Structure 1
Amino acid sequence: MAWLAGFPAAAYLATMVPPPERAPVIEAASLALSEIWTRPFRAVLWKSLALTLALLAVFWTAGHYLLHHYISFSRGWIETLFSILSGLGLLIGLAFLVAPVTALFAGLFLDDIAEVVERTHYAGDPPGRAMPAVRSIVATLRFTLVVLLVNAVALPLVLVLGFGAVIFFVANAYLLGREYFELAALRFHDPRTVRAMRERHGIQLFMAGGMIALVVAIPIVNLIAPLFATAFMVHVFKEIEAADRSSGRLLATPAAT
């Protein structure tokens, strides 16, 4: 994880987290990154990449068509300038959409990725259970809509205010940490227990969300964000669960079926 040291945001987040909580987060991120290219992950990786690129291509094509079909100029140089500016605008829009798209596909591949991580690293633990289809769909759509809404509010601040990028990053760090944790934890515990765990470990989950937000913010690399975030948060959840069990704050609370 030495490459993260080059990001000021990562260094800032690291200072906010006490040392006992900082190391597990970094170790979990390192494990998740190393797993993405392994054989068990490859099938999911290619499906995730294909779906992400396809959806972003649909957004680009639709945006380009709407802009150029309904807006036209009589002078050639104005048309050229509009094409350049609209292209830049579409690129910014696609960058904004990466986080919601990541949220959408996280729900689709959660169980496949989580099962691989649990089988590889936590074979001695009781296996997690896939969420019922309806709950999984509701959770995924809620996650996607929340991320989309918060990013829609934060994006104008990025473009207008000098500190907008910080707001954008912090908002995504909070949301991605919170929601990915819930998706991973609900395979093992009921919603009330998951909420209590999340509240007890808010700083650690914010740090974890910051790691995911960094991956989402890096062009090209952000295409693997759904896989990284899901595997990463399974490790984070296991660390938090073990800590709560050892302290007596967590009893057996199986996931609702």
Structure 2
Amino acid sequence: MIFASARLAFADIFSAPFRGALWKALGLTAVVLVALWFGIAAIAEWFAVPFLSNLFPDVPAWVDQAGTLAGWAAGFALAILLAFLIGPISAVIASLFLDDVAEVVEANTYPEVSAGTAMPFVPGLILSVKFFGVVILGNLLALILLLVPGINIAAFFVVNGYLLGREYFEFAAMRYRTEAEAKALRGRYGTTVFLAGLLIAGFLAVPLLNIFTPLFAAALMVHLHQRVSRKEGGLIPGEATSAARMVRG
């Protein structure tokens, strides 16, 4: 069930129907990263010049050059941190398009079931912030645990596997269920969701490929939720969607 869902999700993210969400997410991520690069470089240069001017008032030309170097050094430091930043930034941006991803998966692979209900703007924005917080927290915890001998890399996968699996599965489930129902379903299939989360963590650990993590995770969990729902007796077309819509108002 898990590997079949992962295989379908990996094929999904590079398929033609996904390209709209994919390019929007990648484009916005690139814009944010470039803006961070130049913004931090400019701020570093802006602070460095007055500071160095006070220390070396007789060499203004050297101070200007040093300020420029400080700006570029800050940009270089940011480049080193991209491996850490690209995951959270792409997560919060791509989360704005997760419902688009879910709709494509549901329509193309599960046409016999009515499409789920997208979240309204405000709850969707809250979910985006939540995804950002989860990825940041997971990576910070994993970074701290990297210093503990014997568990380091395993900690990264366990922490991210649990957090990412939980959040993305509940996202997929809440397109058809209330939040309480989604959490209860995840509880009944906790091991399955965690193992699927480990696959997402593995995706996140691969440089460059990790920018696709939110789209892969959303597609994976939509597939998994649909398959789990079949084991639960199936989603009745229209009824679950209507119930979710009534709860969300």
Alignment of 1:145-184 (within 5 A): 145-158=133-146, 160-162=147-149, 163-184=151-172
Given the alignment, which residue of 55, 58, 61 partners 2:32?
A: 55
User: Using the alignment, how far apart are the partners of 2:197 and 2:90 within structure 1?
Assistant: 13
Residue ranges of structure 2 left out of the alignment (5+ in a row)? 57-61
| 180, 185, 197: which one aligns with 2:185 | 197
Residue by residue over 1:173-222, the C-alpha shift from the partner in whole angstroms, topping out at 9 and shown as x without a partner, is 11111111111111100011001011111111111111111111111111
Q: Specify the alignment match of 2:126 in structure 1.
A: 138
CA-to-aligned-CA distance 1:48-105 (integer Å, 9 cap, x gap): 1111222222333344445555469899xxx9xx999867753453222233224313
Q: One-letter code of the match for 1:173?
A: G
Per-residue CA distance 1:13-71 (angstroms, 9 max, x = gap): xxxxxxxxxxx111111111112222211121111111122222233334444555546
CA contact (8 A) 2:173 2:225 kept: yes
- 1:95 is aligned to 2:95: no
1:61 and 1:155 map into 2 onto residues whose CA distance is 26
Q: Which residue of 1 aligns with 2:59?
A: none
8 Å CA contact 1:106, 1:230 repeated in 2:
no
> What is residue 5 of structure 2 aligned with on the other side?
28
| Pair member with larger Rg | 2
Structure 2 counterpart SS, 1:245: coil
Identity of aligned residues (%): 39
Shift of 1:164: 2.7
> Which segments of 5 or more consecutive residues in structure 1 lack a partner in the other structure?
1-23
TM-score normalised according to structure 1 size? 0.76
**Cα separation, 2, equivalents of 1:226 and 1:241:** 22
What pairs with 1:1-257 in structure 2 (closer than 5 Å)? 24-67=1-44, 70=47, 89-158=77-146, 160-162=147-149, 163-245=151-233, 254-255=243-244, 256-257=247-248
Residues of 1 paired with 2:114 and 2:154: CA distance? 40
Contact map agreement 2:141 2:159 (CA 8 A) in 1 = no
Aligned-residue Cα RMSD (Å) equals 3.0
Q: Distance in 1 between matches of 2:189 and 2:182?
A: 11
Q: Whole-Å Cα distance in 2 between the matches of residues 168 and 69 of structure 1?
A: 37
